[in-house]
Structure 1
Amino acid sequence: MSKTNPGHFFEDFTVGQVIEHATPRTITEGDRAVYGAIYPTRFAIPSSAQFAASVGLDPHPVEDLVAFHVAFGKTVPDISLNAVANLGYAELRFHQPVVPGDTLSTSSEVIGLKQNSNGRTGVVHVRSTATNQRGEVALDWVRWVMVHKRDQQAPAPETVLPEVAPVVDPGSLVLPAGLDFTDYDTTAAGEPHRYDDYAVGEKIDHVDGVTLSEAEHMMATRLWQNTAKVHFNTEARPDGRRLVYGGHVISMARALSFNGLANAQLVAAINAGSHVAPAFAGDTVYAWSEVLDKALLDDHGLEAPGVGALRLRLVATKGRDETMTLRGEDGKYADGVLLDLDLWVLVPR
């Protein structure tokens, strides 16, 4: 009997199945340093312990997406080792900041299954939860992924499609304990723009671009202990190319958004996300954002001194799109769009 893990294929999943993922992962200052070396991030809270303390966050948290990548990476060997593609996200909420010394463990529940018409693959929906060493929820989210079947003759399961909220309600956002933007220092943060300076419908071209490199995207993916074959093994895809982990594009776009959204200090939730097209080493990634909505959190019953929330569409493109066009006249995504991410961020009022 083989002792190696071949990963789950589509017919191995059942609705209601709960998977406890190995292995717990302790966050260190090394994660902060390597993240900053790979992505051009400059947000003041994860960059400066002094700034973080000045807005009520002490000890000093790492980037929100560090926690996401680590938690997501835990799920890969069991959920998406045999994936064709990660298709989307919903209802992702950050419940509390993650700090060096926190140990994250992740579990997933299968909440939906649908075999594709080709009979060779199917889509698996899971709800994943990452908890810290105290058993507290750090973040949770829904994602759906297309997975190969081991045996094309295996019978299709009953189709179950879960209902997910299109948007996380602002009143259900979880704010970090003690967060207070009342005395927020815009000079230290890098831009003067506050909540009232942004208008619904406004688009922001983040201008800067970064060319993806083979070494960096694989190093980042290994940092999160993401074992998906397509990111490392040129024999895993018919075209012989290593696919860039979609989360790498998310973090790159988030870092690039600093130029124009420097005060979007914390990601509170990801409402939805779609990896529209694959990215490969040599592609140059740019980003733009659209303001979809705004929320005064105290109007929603949340204690949030000096804090407002912006709902943003963050779009990553291959090559710069100065027109900031998401879809063509046919309703399909425009050429060059890599990522379409809908998120809530916290900004000073």
Structure 2
Amino acid sequence: MKTGAGRFFEDYRLGETLVHAVPRTLTDGERALYHALYPARHAVFSSDEFARACGMSSSPLDDLIVFHTVFGKTVPDISLNAVANLGYAEGRWLRPVWPGDTLTATSQVIGLRETSNRTAGVVWVRTEGRNQRDEPVLSYVRWVMVRKRDADATAAAATVPDLAAVVPSEALVVPDGLDFTGYDFARAGEPHAWEDYVPGERIDHRDAVTVEEAEHMLATRLWQNTARVHFDVTQRQDGRRLIYGGHVLSLARTLSFNGLANAQMVVGLNGGSHANPCFAGDTVRAWSEVLDKAETAVPSVGALRLRLVATRGEPFLLRDAAGKYLPEVLLELDYWALLPRRG
């Protein structure tokens, strides 16, 4: 038997390390496709000259290109038989990735818990992406519900990891050389600096994108994500392809440009939930809330903690009176981004 059906819940062992195939060399082709799929236009990732003026050697690849590439490496070993990807925590971008870099990924199983109906279980993994010099570029925890091969199979004792609610601001990594002292607000697209945002402030990003079947499958293939629910209509009882959560994440992040054009680099992922499924034909909108702000070791660079919500509905609506996500909410993401300070 030379083919595999993928891992099921009972195949995981607490503490085991998974070495994921296949190494991926990224080029400017990834950038071009990413910017074609999404309305991505943050200036540091769009212009070599703008990036150089901010102290970098050239424009790095978008942070979410790195996330999706590393995530895609993990799918055949973690979520090929997933019911749903449930959440994220403790994410940090550790250094920029440039065209020509080759990324690999490994994961460690840090938690297991069988569901009450015994047909599936939740698997927690800590994943790390590294470049060709074996330098870490990204680290994050995610948890996913995975089907069981045999509902009667004995499951390991439940172990749920204790995860930090927020990545401490002092643990955020400002890329080497990044300096916003001479930041060009006009070229970046908006005048709003770090000082202009206040915790509790909410921003309706106004724009919207209707999800197309072909686009989401192209994106999912681009990141070499092989989860069957994104391609095979027989994998769901409703006969619909589930939109890859990363597609929704990138749509929301790029829609946030309108109001957060100067939130140039994502450096921390505090938490995230794919609240409800997204399908082709859904129109995705986004809104943000400023949760916190922090100084960094670089005087010209500040960090904002932001809640980003992707929704099919109206802005600023998230949960019902019982605390459950409203049915129109697709994604809630809690992250840190770097912005220029006026000094």
TM over 0.5: yes
Shift of residue 296, structure 1, vs aligned partner: 1.0
Map of 1:248 onto structure 2: 247
Residues 1:183 and 2:175 are matched in the alignment: no
Equivalent AA in structure 1 for residue 142 of structure 2: R
Aligned to 1:7, the other structure's residue is in SS state coil
Q: How many residues align?
A: 341
Q: Give per-residue Cα distances to partners, 1:101-157, cap 9 Å, x unaligned.
A: 000000000000000110110000000000000000010100000000011111121
Map of 2:9 onto structure 1: 10
Q: Give per-residue Cα distances to partners, 1:312-339, cap 9 Å, x unaligned.
A: 00000014x14x1211222211231100
Q: Please give the alpha-carbon distance, in whole angstroms, between the structure 2 residues aligned to 1:61 and 1:67.
A: 10
Map of 2:198 onto structure 1: 199
Map of 2:140 onto structure 1: 141
Q: Please give the alpha-carbon distance, in whole angstroms, between the structure 2 residues aligned to 1:209 and 1:60.
A: 27
Equivalent AA in structure 1 for residue 300 of structure 2: G
Q: Please give the alpha-carbon distance, in whole angstroms, between the structure 2 residues aligned to 1:328 and 1:161.
A: 27
What TM-score, normalized to structure 2? 0.98
What TM-score, normalized to structure 1? 0.97
Name structure 2 gaps, 5 residues minimum: none
Residues 1:311 and 2:310 are matched in the alignment: no
Q: Give per-residue Cα distances to partners, 1:75-108, cap 9 Å, x unaligned.
A: 0000000000000000010001111000000000
Equivalent AA in structure 1 for residue 318 of structure 2: L
Map of 1:347 onto structure 2: 339
Q: Which runs of 4+ in 1 moved over 3 A?
A: none
Q: Please give the alpha-carbon distance, in whole angstroms, between the structure 2 residues aligned to 1:116 and 1:229.
A: 21
Equivalences for 1:150-229 in 2 at 5 Å? 150-229=149-228
Map of 1:73 onto structure 2: 72
Shift of residue 248, structure 1, vs aligned partner: 0.4
Q: Please give the alpha-carbon distance, in whole angstroms, between the structure 2 residues aligned to 1:335 and 1:13.
A: 32
Shift of residue 56, structure 1, vs aligned partner: 1.1
Q: Please give the alpha-carbon distance, in whole angstroms, between the structure 1 residues aligned to 2:335 and 2:56.
A: 21
Q: Please give the alpha-carbon distance, in whole angstroms, between the structure 1 residues aligned to 2:299 and 2:22.
A: 38
Equivalent AA in structure 1 for residue 73 of structure 2: K
Aligned partners of 1:179 and 1:305 also within 8 Å: no
Equivalent AA in structure 2 for residue 317 of structure 1: T
Name structure 1 gaps, 5 residues minimum: none
Residues 1:111 and 2:110 are matched in the alignment: yes
Aligned partners of 1:69 and 1:224 also within 8 Å: yes
Aligned to 1:126, the other structure's residue is in SS state strand
Which of 311, 319, 330 is equivalent to 1:327?
319
Equivalent AA in structure 1 for residue 321 of structure 2: E
| 53-62 or 145-154, which deviates more | 53-62
Shift of residue 305, structure 1, vs aligned partner: 3.2
Equivalent AA in structure 2 for residue 138 of structure 1: V
Q: Please give the alpha-carbon distance, in whole angstroms, between the structure 2 residues aligned to 1:115 and 1:288.
A: 34
Q: Give per-residue Cα distances to partners, 1:275-317, cap 9 Å, x unaligned.
A: 00000000000000000000011xxxx2x13000000000000
Aligned partners of 2:276 and 2:327 also within 8 Å: no
Q: Give per-residue Cα distances to partners, 1:208-248, cap 9 Å, x unaligned.
A: 00000000000000000000000011111111100000000
Q: Please give the alpha-carbon distance, in whole angstroms, between the structure 1 residues aligned to 2:250 and 2:303.
A: 20
Equivalences for 1:275-290 in 2 at 5 Å? 275-290=274-289
* RMSD over aligned Cα atoms: 0.7
Residues 1:338 and 2:330 are matched in the alignment: yes
Shift of residue 59, structure 1, vs aligned partner: 3.0
